[in-house]
Structure 1
Amino acid sequence: MAPQWDAVVVGAGFGGIGAGIELDRLGLHDFVILEREDDLGGTWHVNRYPGLAVDIASVTYSYSFEPNPSWSRLFAPGAELKKYAEHVAVKYDLRRRMRFGTVVEGARWDAGNEQWVVTVAGGETLTARYLLTATGFLSQPYTPPFPGIESFAGKIIHTTAWDDDYDLTDRRAAVIGTGATAVQLVPEVAERVAELTVFQRTPIWVVPKVDAPIPGVVRGLFAKVPLTQKAARLVNTGMLEALMVVGVLHYAQAKPVNSAAAALARAHLYAQVRDPETRAKLTPHYDFGCKRPTFSNTYFKTFNQPHVHLETNPIDHVEPDGIVTADGHKTEIDTLLLATGFNLWDVNFPAIEIIGRDGVDLGKFWRDNRFQAYEGITVPKFPNFLSLNSPYSYSGLSYFTTIEAQMKHMGRLFTEMLRRGEHTFEVTERANAEFLDRVTAKLGSSVFYGGDCATARSYYFNQHGEAALLRPTSTTNAHREAVTFPLDDYTYGRTA
C-alpha cells in the first residue's frame, strides 16, 4: 500500500522549514508539515513576552543561504524573527504545505508497508515514507507543581502563553525564574508594575550585550554586497565558537578562557548592582557554561530600583493572594509570571510517542538506557526517521548551525539511498555506538564533567546525569562530518 506522502514533518519552526527546503532540494516534493499552533515560526510564534529578542547576533541566527539584510538591530526583536520565518516559508513555497492547529499524538513504523503511520488528534491518520520531527529543543513548557498554585486568585501567565491584553500597570507582580527568558522579561515588567518580586532558585551568568541599531547605510550595504554580511556572520560565529567550544567544551585545556568569561560577567554584575548583598545573591556558584549564559545590559540594573525585590528563599506554597517561602515570609501579589522554562528530558525527547521497528518506544528507550542519536539525527531501530532535535545534535550556540548541518546530513543520506534505487534507510547499531562513545569521550574535557556544575541545575543534564544535548565538536567539524560520514553507517533497502 503506497503511503499518502513522501514525508511528514512535525513542527513548522525553523527546523521544520529547513527540513522542507531540503526535501524539495532532494526532489521529495510531496510532503506535509504539521504544526500544533495556529501559525508557523515555532518559538518565535509562541513567545510574545515583553523584551523578547534573540540572544545570538541576528547575522548568525538565520539561514546562511537566506541572509536577511534588514535586521533592525544586532540582536533583533522577536517580531522580526517571526517575520523572517514567514518570508522564508513563502519564498521556498512551504506555507501551502503546512497544516496548522494539528496536534500530532504519535507515530509508528509499519514494517509490512515500509511507512510511518502518523496519528493526529481527532483520530485522523496519515501515512508517509519518511518521518521528520522538528519539534524544537524548548517546546514543552514547564510549570513547577507549587503546592496551592491552583488556589491563586490573581492572574497567572506563562511566558509561552503571554496575554497581550493584560495590563501590568500598577500591579504587584512576581516573576518565578531567572533563566534567559527572565533576563529579557524582568526589566520590561519592572517599568510597568508597582511592585516586582523576582524569585530566584539559581543565579545565571550574564555578560554585557553589545547591541545597537544597525544603521540604514549598513543594511543597504548588506543588501547590495552580500559578501559583507557573510563576513559579519563569520566574525560573529568565530566569537561564539571561542566562547562555547574553547571555554566550555575544551574546559580542561582552556580553563583561562572560561575564567576570563566568568570574570567579565562578575565585573558586569559589580558595575551594575550597588547593593553588596544583592550582588552576592546574583553571583553564580558554578562554573561559567554549566548553564547557557545570556546577554543583557539592563537585567542587573533592575535590582537597583526600590520597587524591585530579589527573593532567594525556596517557595513553600502559593496562597490566593501571594507566595510563601520556606522561611514563612509571604509576598502579596496579584499577578504571577512564570518564566520557568521547559521540560526537555521527560517530555521533549521526543515530544510525541514514536514507535519504531520491533515495537521499540523511542522515549522509553532513551530514558531507560542512554540518550543517543547517530550524528544527532538518526537512531537504530527507527527506519526512515530523522529527529532534528536530538541528543548530541546542538552545535555551537546558534540553532541554525545545527539545522544546516542536519540538512547536509539529510542530503548525503537521501542522495545515496536514491542512487541505490532504495527507499528505506536505518543507521547501524555499530555506527551509533561508535558515535556515542566518541562524543561521550570528548565531553570528558568539558566544563560539564571537568568543572563545578553541582549547583547549576542546568537543562544540559538529563536524568542520567549526562550532558547529552550539545555536540562536543566545533561547528566546522559538525558540518564536515555531515557531508563525509561513511555511507555504510546505514543499511539501505528492506529493514529487518
Structure 2
Amino acid sequence: MADDVMTDQGSPVALARGRGSRAVKDGAAPRPVPRQPDHEVIVVGAGISGIGLAIELRKAGIESFLLLERAGDVGGTWRDNRYPGIAVDITSFTYSFSFEQNPDWSRVFAPGAELQRYAQRVAAKYGVYPKVRFRTEVDKAVFLEDRDLWEIHLKGGERLYSRFLIGASGGLISPKKPDIKGLEAFKGIVMHTGFWDDSVELTGKRVAVIGTGATAVQMVPSIASRVAHLDVYQRTPIWVLKKPDAEIPAWLKSAFRTLPIVQRGVRVCTDALSEAVMVGAVIYYRQIPGLVRWAESAGKNNLLEQIPNDPALREKLTPKYGFGCKRPTFSNDYFKTFTRDNVELVTDPIECITERGIRTRDGQERQIDVLITATGYRVFEKGNLPSFEVHGRDGLELGQFWDEHRYQAYEAVSVPKFPNYFGMLGPYGLTGTSYFKMVEAHSIHAVRCIKEARKRAMTRVEIGQGPHERYFQDVQRRQQNTVFPNHSCASSNSYYFDKHGDAPMLRPSTTMEMLWRAKHFPMKHYRFSRAQAGSTADLPDRATAGAAAFV
C-alpha cells in the first residue's frame, strides 16, 4: 500500500489540503449568478462514491468537475471509523473497484485502515486529489430553472455554480445517538463508535457497550481482554455466520501481482458466494427459501460451536427474526466473548443512564467508567439522505419529498423535478455484495446522461415521470419476493426499514442486472432541453436541439 500518500509533505494529500480553502465572510454579498458555471459537474463527497465517480468522469473525458469534501482527506466511512476491530464484512477481493484490484491485502477480510489506504492510493493514482476541495461543507443547493444551473451554498456564505450536481456523501455519515433518559447526566466518558477517540484508554476500565449490530460484533471481542469489566446491552440479537478469514500468504500476493488473472479468478468466486448469501437468500426469498434456512442453520451452528455449554446464553443471542431482515455479519469469536468472566450480556431493557452507570428496568445499576454507543447511523432519514437541502423545480425539496412520499428514484439515481441531479446512494440502490459495485453502476448511469446532454448540446436532463413511476412500481412488485415482508422482520429493529415501513436500502435484483441496466437503460426515459437564459454560449447549435419527449 502507498503509505507515503498519507505522510509525505509533497504528496497529493498534502498538496490538496493546502488548496481550495477559500470562503467569504458571513454576511458578505453573494456574487452575481455567472453566465457560465464554475464547473460542469460538482460532486458532494470524496468517499468511495466520489472517488469512483471522479474516475468515471475522467474516463469519459469530462475534466471540468470538482469534489467538495467536508473533512480533510478522502475515504469517507473508512476515514472516519477507527474503532478497535474494524474490518470489511465482505471479502476484500469483492469489496474493491473491479478495475483496481489490490494484490496486497493482508487478510481475506481486510482491516479498516487498509481500506482507507486503498482509497488514498486509488485517489492518487487516478488524479482525484487535485479535483477535491477539502474542509468544505455544503449547506444547500438550489436549481436555477431559467439558467439550468445548480447554485451550491457553502457553509460560510460562498456560492458555487455547476451544470450538474451529484450527491455522493454516502449513508453512514450521521451517527445515531441512543434515545435514553439521563445520557447527558453521565459523568464518565461517552463516545460513539463513529467518533472513536484514540486518546481514551480502556485498559482496566469498566466499560459498557450499547448496541449489538455489525460494529459491536467487531469491536466487543477486540476490547474484552483489556477492560476490567464489559457490559454489552442488547436490544436485538444479530445473525452471525462463520468468518472464512485468514492471513494472505506472501506467495499468493506475489501471484496476484505477477498474474492479475489469478486475483480476478478469486474475485469471481468470492462474488458468487457473496451474491448467494447476501442477495440470493434475501432478495429471492420466495423463489429459493432454502438459502435462508441454510443461513439460519449456519448461524445457529456458529453460535453452538462458540457457546457449547450454556443454552440460556445461546437463547439470548439467537435472533427471533428471519435471516436478512437486518444486515447479518461474520465472526469467529463474538459469541465466545460472552463466556469470559469479565463480560456480561445484558438483555433487560435500559431504564436510564445515571451519573455513574446504567440502570435497567429490574432496578439493577451497573457502574461504569466509559460508555460506548454502537447504535449505528441514520440512513434513509430526512437530513441524512440527502445530507443537505436539495431544491429542484417548483421549489420542491428532495428530503422533504422523500419524507412525505416514500423513498423512490429511477434506477436509484434520478428523481423527477430534480434536473441535472444524480444521487450515488439512492433508494433501492445498494446490492448486498459490495458498495463498490453500486458506485460503479451509478457512476456509469450519471456519466451516460451527462455525455448525452453534451452530445445533444442540451443544458438540462431530467427523468420522465412515467419511467420513474413504472420503475418504482416494479421495485415494489419485486420487494414482495424478498425476505422483508415475508420472514418476521417486524422485531428486527433494522436500519433497512424507513418510517414508511419500506426497505429502501437494498436493490431487489442481482448485481449483474444492476450493472447491465446502468449501461443499457433507454435514454428516451430522460428529457433533454436547453436553457432559455444566457448560460449556453459555450454550447454549439445542433440540428437535434429540442426536448425529447417523456416516454
Q: TM-score, normalised by structure 1?
A: 0.98
Deviations 1:278-320 (A, max 9, x none): 1111000000000010000111110010110001111111111
CA displacement at 1:186 relative to structure 2? 0.3
Partner of 1:337: 372
Q: Once structures 1 and 2 are overlaid, which stretch shifts more, 320-329 or 356-365?
A: 320-329
Q: Distance in 2 between matches of 1:395 and 1:56?
A: 12
1:26, 1:414 within 8 Å by CA — same for their partners in 2?
Answer: no
In the other structure, the counterpart of 1:320 is: 355
Q: Does 1:266 align with 2:300?
A: yes
Deviations 1:317-343 (A, max 9, x none): 111100111222111101001111001
Partners of 1:6 and 1:24 in 2: how far apart?
12
The correspondence of residues 107-186 of structure 1 with structure 2, limited to 5 A, is: 107-186=141-220
| Structure 1 counterpart of 2:168, one-letter code | A
Determine the C-alpha separation between the residues in 2 that align with 1:494 and 1:378.
19
Q: Structure 1 CA distance, aligned partners of 2:459 and 2:510?
A: 32
The 1-side partners of 2:363 and 2:405 are apart by 41
Aligned residue in 2 for 1:363: 399
Q: 1:473 aligns with which of 496, 509, 516?
A: 509
CA distance in 2, matches of 1:293, 1:482: 27
Retained in 2: the 8 A contact 1:8–1:132?
Answer: yes
Q: Distance in 2 between matches of 1:245 and 1:188?
A: 29
SS in 2 for 1:2: coil
8 A contact 2:424–2:443 mirrored in 1: no
| RMSD (Å) for aligned C-alpha atoms | 1.1
Displacement of 1:350:
1.3
- Identity across aligned pairs (percent)? 46
Aligned-partner SS, 2:445: helix
Paired position in structure 1 for 2:111:
77
Query: What runs of 5+ residues in structure 1 fail to find an aligned partner?
Result: none
C-alpha displacement of 1:31: 1.5
Structure 2 unaligned runs (5+)? 1-34, 532-546
1:344-359 → structure 2 map (5 Å cutoff): 344-346=379-381, 347-359=383-395
Aligned length: 496
Q: Does 1:305 align with 2:321?
A: no
- Whole-Å Cα distance in 1 between the matches of residues 62 and 395 of structure 2? 27
Contact 2:53-2:440 at 8 Å conserved across structures: no
Distance in 2 separating the partners of 1:116 and 1:412: 19
Name the CA distance, whole Å, in 2 between partners of 1:438 and 1:216: 47
Contact 1:2 1:113 in 2 (8 A): no
Letter matched to residue 440 of structure 1: Q
- Which is worse superposed, 101-110 or 426-435? 101-110
Cα offset, 1:27, TM superposition: 2.3
- Normalising to structure 2: TM-score of the pair? 0.89
CA distance in structure 2 between the partners assigned to 1:92 and 1:246 by the alignment: 34
Letter in 2 for 1:373: A
What's the CA shift for 1:50? 0.5
User: 1:404–1:245: structure 2 CA closer, same or farther, 3 Å change rule?
Assistant: same
Match of 1:429 in 2: 465
Give the residue type in structure 2 aligned to 1:312. T
Tell me which stretches of 4 or more aligned residues in structure 1 moved more than 3 Å. none
Q: Which moved more, 1:242-251 or 1:369-378?
A: 242-251
Contact 1:22 1:410 in 2 (8 A): no
Taking the aligned partners of 1:469 and 1:168, their CA distance within structure 2 comes to 35
Select the residue among 268, 277, 298 that pairs with 2:312.
277
Contact 2:279–2:433, Cα closer than 8 Å, also in 1: no
Q: 449-458 or 257-266: which moved more?
A: 449-458
Question: Deviations 1:324-378 (Å, cap 9, x if unpaired)?
Answer: 1122211110100111100112232211111111100101100101110100111
